[in-house]
């Protein structure tokens, strides 16, 4: 029966957790040269059919067209031409931000396209013979044969054989991986190369819908759908735009009544400066860059919604083995029962492990040699020995040699074996096993039957070491308001000890696929978003149920189809980085929205006095920047409005730096930096531009 229990973690100093590394491509996260390379795409995006998808920038585009028409009607109007030029620059800079974000994925997309060669597949007929067909002619369910040197023609699962596969075209890692039938490492990706042996693969995707095809579309931004939060923000920005449009439409009658005439060019300039053009221009780039940051870490997100959901995750489900712990258990000591010595236990444990080629078995042999001076013996030295292999049914292994029978295995199996051999288990054997389990280790009892009868000699203490820095990482997540739950198939005592050492909040012991599903649903019923990792077919239901399901690339096709992210490196700990990237996306969007709305204030102080001060001299007091002339004030605001977009492109692509602090502290920090900064920066920027304009001679 599974249990979920709060893990009481003692407070103590923790080592600094490793910071997520970032794979950089080309010039890094922001390459200034990319601005130049993206200019052609920026001009192509001036198409009104593209602009209409962004309401705020579509209004600016219409304003640019109108001011250009008015300038053509009065070719000598230098002010009108200048305003028109900078409005077009505003639209162009907005397009450039999106083009740069999309352009960063094109290099990776080009690399992936090289893997989509005209592969010829060896398809199996029903009679077992082969036929050669183009890879594009394969259909779901087809069986294909691949041998050493063959390029895998499509996505599928290995149904027969085992092979070494080069996946460097997908993961960037040169080390080959093993793919075999009948397990959780059966999935193969089209475009990868078989290095050895022979496998039969069942195709699971249609041509054009393969993993590589989806990666190309996503890294280029072609398949990126706007997320719910992004749509909501677009609606808010469109609403603000409509409000300011109505405001500007009502100004001419008031101006005429006050004896001031407002030209259409001035009204358009005022409207563009009032609406939230900064965030409107950068919103799409922020979303694309968020997905690109995942690609930089070799994670493929099926949709932007998954990235955004990662930022709102409040419960993180993590496997113990390989995620929280190193995953390779090692012998840490020999514990004798009363009446025996450690040397006896070590000698018997080493003998019983000579035929055990697992990492655990080899570690027993090495530990006995290093700590007790026992020479490492080999199977060939034991003439007439009968080796007992480990099986899932018996749960023990050993050797029969020279009239002596030695067994090593799970506590229950060894105790039952001793009783079957006519012996009695030592009274403290079970207590020793429980003590080892309670300390977070795995006990393996060692027993022997010889002239003294059948008896338990002691136990081998296997320990799965918690990865360095995990406690610090979990402490960071706790400060972020994220609850961590360790999932393991271990017994509750072992799970509790590991959870305490690692610093997770809760643990789920003796977990089954049904238990994982039940836990996810309970968390979601409480209004929390859940993230988890998985690689097996039995993980697919839980991955589909989770709000953020990260499937390992080494896993099955079912797991990758069920999840909404795929980790190409198959590193379960990357889930923590994915959450950080999601939060960075949300923080960046919020910070730049705050900055955009705040920097409009300075434009009011620049443009309103310029428009109405001649009729109402009292409004000159609002001209706190002391701008040189009404035309200069309006033009300075328009120019600053355009240049600030370019200035913020690197930040929108790189993202606002994330720090694991509480939501309140994060809000205060962002209001202080981007709210106050958004208020102050435009006053300085507009004044500097005004001084420069005043130095330029008039017509």
Last residue of a domain, one of 185, 206, 227: 206
The C-alpha atoms of residue 319 and residue 502 are separated, in whole angstroms, by 12
More confident residue, 51 or 359: 51
Contact between 170 and 191 under an 8 Å Cβ cutoff? The reply is yes
The answer to whether residue 501 is domain-embedded is yes
334 and 453 assigned to the same domain: yes
Question: How many distinct structural domains can be found in the chain?
Answer: 4
Q: Computed from CA positions of residues 276, 280, 281, 282, in that sequence, does the dihedral angle turn out positive or negative?
A: positive
Q: Which of 392, 395, 381 is nearest to 351 (CA)?
A: 381
- Is residue 319 annotated as part of the catalytic site, yes or no? yes
401 is a domain residue: yes
Higher pLDDT pick, 296 / 158: 158
Same-domain status, 343 and 448: yes
What are the structure tokens assigned to 140, written together? Answer: 């779901």
For residues 348 and 366, what is the distance between their CA atoms, to the nearest angstrom? 13
* Same-domain status, 452 and 472: no
358 annotated binding-site participant: no
Over range 601-628, report the average pLDDT: 75
Mean pLDDT in the chain? Answer: 80
If you average pLDDT over each of 218-227, 430-439, 635-644, 651-660, which comes out highest?
Answer: 635-644
Residue 302 lies in a domain: no
**Which of 206, 230, 256 delimits the end of a domain?**
206
The answer to whether residue 223 scores a pLDDT higher than 60 is: no
Question: CB burial class (10 A; 0-12, 13-18, 19+) of residue 459?
Answer: buried
Contacts of 626 (CB under 8 A, 6+ apart): 687
- Percent of the chain clearing pLDDT 90 (strictly above): 13
- pLDDT on residue 17: 37
Beta strands per DSSP E along 488-611: 506-509, 530-534, 548-552, 565-567
pLDDT classification of 222: cutoffs 50, 70, 90: very low
pLDDT at residue 69, rounded to an integer? 94
- Is there a single domain that holds both residue 536 and residue 630? no
| Annotated binding-site residue? 393 | yes
When mean pLDDT is compared over 202-206, 402-406, 519-523, 531-535, the highest value belongs to: 519-523
By residue range, what is the domain housing residue 176? 139-206
Kindly report, residue by residue over 316-351, the tens digit of the pLDDT: 888 777 678 776 677 888 999 888 888 889 888 888
Q: Is 390 marked as a binding-site residue?
A: yes
d(CA 503, CA 320) in angstroms, rounded, equals 12
377-428: pLDDT as tens digits: 555 556 678 888 777 677 788 888 878 899 998 888 888 898 888 887 777 8
Please indicate, yes or no, whether residues 450 and 476 belong to a single structural domain of this protein: no
Residues 92 and 46 sit within 8 Å (Cβ to Cβ): yes
CATH (domain of 521) = 3.40.50.1000
Q: Residue 453: inside a domain, yes or no?
A: yes
Average pLDDT over residues 123-136: 85
Token pair listed for 100: 């740069």
Cβ atoms of 3 and 623 within 8 Å: the answer is no
Domain boundary among 515, 535, 568: 568
Question: Cα 239 to the chain's mean position, in Å?
Answer: 33
Lowest mean pLDDT, pick from 302-306, 435-439, 448-452, 565-569 = 302-306
What's residue 699's pLDDT?
A: 47
> Which residue of the set 31, 184, 319, 347 is catalytic?
319
Rounded to whole angstroms, how far apart are CA atoms 305 and 321?
29
Residue 536 has pLDDT above 80, yes or no: no
Is the pLDDT at 58 greater than 90, yes or no?
yes
Tell me, yes or no, whether 166 and 269 share the same domain: no
Query: pTM higher than 0.75 for the full model?
Result: no
Per-residue pLDDT band for 145 (boundaries 50, 70, 90) equals very high
Q: Please check the confidence at residue 430 and state whether its pLDDT lies above 90.
A: no
Residues 236 and 88 in one domain: yes
List the CATH number of the domain containing 351.
Answer: 3.40.1110.10
394 is in an annotated binding site: yes
The answer to whether 430 is a known ligand-binding residue is: no
* Percent share of the chain, pLDDT over 70: 85
In contact, 486 and 320? CB cutoff 8 Å: yes
The predicted structure's pLDDT at residue 242: 92
CATH assignment at residue 154? 2.70.150.10
For residue 400, the cross-strand partners are 386, 405
Average pLDDT of the residues in 149-163: 87
Instruction: Give pLDDT, residue 528.
Output: 87
Confidence of residue 613 (pLDDT cuts 50, 70, 90): low
Is residue 516, in this structure, part of any structural domain at all?
Answer: yes
Quote the tokens at residue 72.
Answer: 């053509």
Q: Measure the CA–CA gap between 647 and 214, rounded to whole angstroms.
A: 32
Domain match, 392 and 440 both: yes
596 marked ligand binding residue: no
Instruction: Find out whether 360 is annotated in a ligand binding site.
Output: yes
């Amino acid at each position: 029966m599974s249990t979920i229990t709060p893990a009481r973690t003692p407070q103590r100093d923790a080592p600094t957790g490793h910071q997520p590394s970032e794979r950089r491509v080309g010039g890094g996260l922001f390459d200034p040269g990319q601005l130049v390379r993206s200019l052609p795409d920026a001009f192509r995006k001036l198409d009104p059919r593209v602009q209409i998808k962004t309401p705020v920038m579509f209004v600016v585009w219409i304003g640019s067209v109108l001011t250009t028409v008015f300038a053509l009607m009065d070719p000598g109007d230098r002010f009108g031409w200048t305003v028109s030029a900078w409005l077009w620059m505003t639209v162009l800079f907005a397009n450039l931000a999106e083009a740069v974000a999309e352009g960063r994925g094109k290099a990776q997309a080009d690399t992936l396209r090289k893997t989509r060669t005209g592969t010829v597949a060896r398809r199996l007929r029903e009679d077992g013979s082969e036929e050669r067909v183009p890879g594009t002619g394969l259909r779901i369910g087809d069986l294909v044969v691949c041998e050493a040197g063959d390029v895998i023609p499509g996505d599928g699962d290995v149904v027969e054989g085992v092979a070494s596969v080069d996946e460097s075209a997908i993961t960037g890692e040169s080390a080959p991986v093993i793919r075999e039938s009948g397990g959780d490492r059966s999935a193969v990706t089209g475009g990868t190369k078989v290095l050895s042996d022979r496998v039969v693969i069942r195709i699971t995707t249609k041509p054009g819908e393969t993993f590589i095809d989806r990666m190309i579309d996503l890294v280029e931004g072609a398949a990126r759908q706007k997320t719910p939060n992004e749509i909501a923000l677009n609606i808010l920005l469109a609403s603000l735009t409509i409000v300011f449009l109505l405001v500007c439409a009502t100004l001419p009658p008031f101006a005429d009544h006050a004896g001031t005439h407002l030209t259409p060019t001035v009204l358009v300039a005022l409207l563009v400066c009032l609406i939230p053009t900064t965030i409107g221009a950068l919103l799409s780039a922020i979303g694309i860059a968020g997905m690109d940051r995942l690609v930089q870490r070799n994670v493929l997100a099926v949709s932007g919604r998954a990235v955004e959901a990662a930022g709102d995750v409040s419960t993180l489900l993590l496997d113990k083995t390989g995620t929280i712990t190193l995953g390779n258990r090692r012998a840490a000591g020999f514990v004798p029962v009363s009446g025996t010595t450690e040397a006896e236990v070590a000698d018997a444990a080493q003998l019983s492990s000579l035929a055990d080629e697992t990492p655990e078995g080899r570690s027993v042999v090495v530990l006995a040699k290093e700590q007790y001076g026992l020479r490492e013996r080999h199977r060939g030295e034991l003439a007439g020995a009968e080796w007992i292999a480990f099986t899932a049914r018996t749960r023990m292994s050993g050797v029969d040699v020279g009239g002596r029978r030695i067994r090593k295995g799970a506590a229950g199996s060894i105790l039952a074996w001793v009783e079957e051999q006519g012996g009695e288990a030592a009274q403290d054997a079970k207590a020793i096993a429980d003590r080892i389990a309670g300390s977070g280790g795995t006990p393996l009892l060692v027993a022997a039957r010889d002239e003294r009868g059948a008896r338990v000699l002691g136990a081998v203490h296997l320990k799965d070491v918690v990865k360095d820095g995990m406690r610090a990482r979990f402490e960071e997540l706790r400060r972020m308001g994220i609850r961590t739950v360790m999932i393991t198939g271990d017994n509750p005592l072992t799970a509790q000890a590991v959870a305490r050492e690692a610093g997770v909040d809760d643990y789920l012991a003796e977990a089954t696929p049904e238990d994982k599903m039940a836990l996810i649903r309970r968390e979601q019923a409480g209004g929390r978003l859940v993230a988890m990792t998985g690689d097996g077919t039995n993980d697919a239901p839980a991955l589909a149920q989770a709000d953020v399901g990260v499937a390992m690339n080494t896993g099955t096709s079912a797991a990758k189809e069920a999840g909404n992210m795929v980790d190409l490196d198959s590193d379960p700990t990357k889930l923590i980085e994915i959450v950080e990237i999601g939060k960075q996306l949300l923080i960046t969007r919020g910070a730049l929205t705050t900055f955009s709305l705040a920097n409009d204030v300075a434009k009011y102080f620049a443009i309103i006095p310029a428009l109405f001060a001649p009729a109402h001299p009292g409004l000159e007091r609002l001209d706190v920047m002391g701008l040189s002339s009404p035309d200069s004030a309006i033009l300075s605001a328009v120019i600053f409005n355009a240049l600030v977009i370019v200035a913020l492109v690197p930040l929108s692509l790189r993202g606002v730096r994330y720090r694991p602090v509480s939501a309140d502290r994060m809000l205060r920090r962002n209001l202080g930096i981007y709210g106050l900064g958004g208020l102050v920066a435009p006053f300085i920027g507009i004044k500097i531009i005004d001084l420069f304009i005043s130095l330029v001679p008039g017509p």
